[in-house]
Structure 1
Amino acid sequence: MASRTGPASTVALAANAQSVLTEMVAMQVDAGLTIAMRLPILAKGALGDARGQREASKAVVEKAAAMAESSFAIGHAAALFWWSMALNPLTPNGLGEATAKAVHSSLEPFSRRTRANASRLAKRR
């Protein structure tokens, strides 16, 4: 079977890949800032500071919630992918779009939380 990738579909695949990459880099920057700002707070919490202990609890709860939400999102994206494959087989471009949507939906819970944490902790300084 001949591939149906032309210049337009190649550009669309590249745009999807760039979008996912941009989201991942932004999330990594926010996560690094959050870790850097949280470490002193967590260190105080280890020494008995109530604010540090609340921050540690918040971090654990947020990660568990993000993992659950991400797991649900990737399961939902996979179900939608297979349902669309059953109804209308995807072209290579459609497969790229479906993959980008699945990756985006699984990263979004973590990305949203890291962005919010970096913003919240930066305001406290």
Structure 2
Amino acid sequence: MADVVMKVDDLDGTPIPPDGGGSVSFGFLGRHFEIDLSNAHEEELAKLLAPYIEKAREVATPAVPLGETDRARAQLLQAEAQRNLAAGRKPYDTVAAREWLQEQGIDFNQMGPLKKEFREIYERHYGLPAYDTAPQHPTKG
């Protein structure tokens, strides 16, 4: 029996039919985000952002330099992971890990949190700290 994968609207938890919405990516304050939205919520977001987009300058996505290897990507991801950990955040975004796993043809359940075994494949490949790694803050007692 085949697994059925269905996206769910991240705002209200309702199922998104195959032709009824999808993933929306956006950036704000130097960070990049992705959210799954129904068509209605996509339109709502577009209306909210319209006045800002109208006044904003579109910036081209920087081109990846020719010849950049996986090693260079690993160095970038490792540096970002260290900055994230220092700021008390998770070392990397699991959205990127999911995309990489899909590109590698690794079959994983797309619903719910990314399982540890799949995070570890991504972490080993790029030499990243464990996703569960977080700064330990001593408790005051």
For Structure 1 versus Structure 2, the TM-score category normalised by the shorter chain is: under 0.3
Larger Rg: 1
Greater strand fraction, Structure 1 or Structure 2: 2
| Bigger relative contact order (CA 8 A; separation at least 6) | 1
Structure with bigger helix share is 1
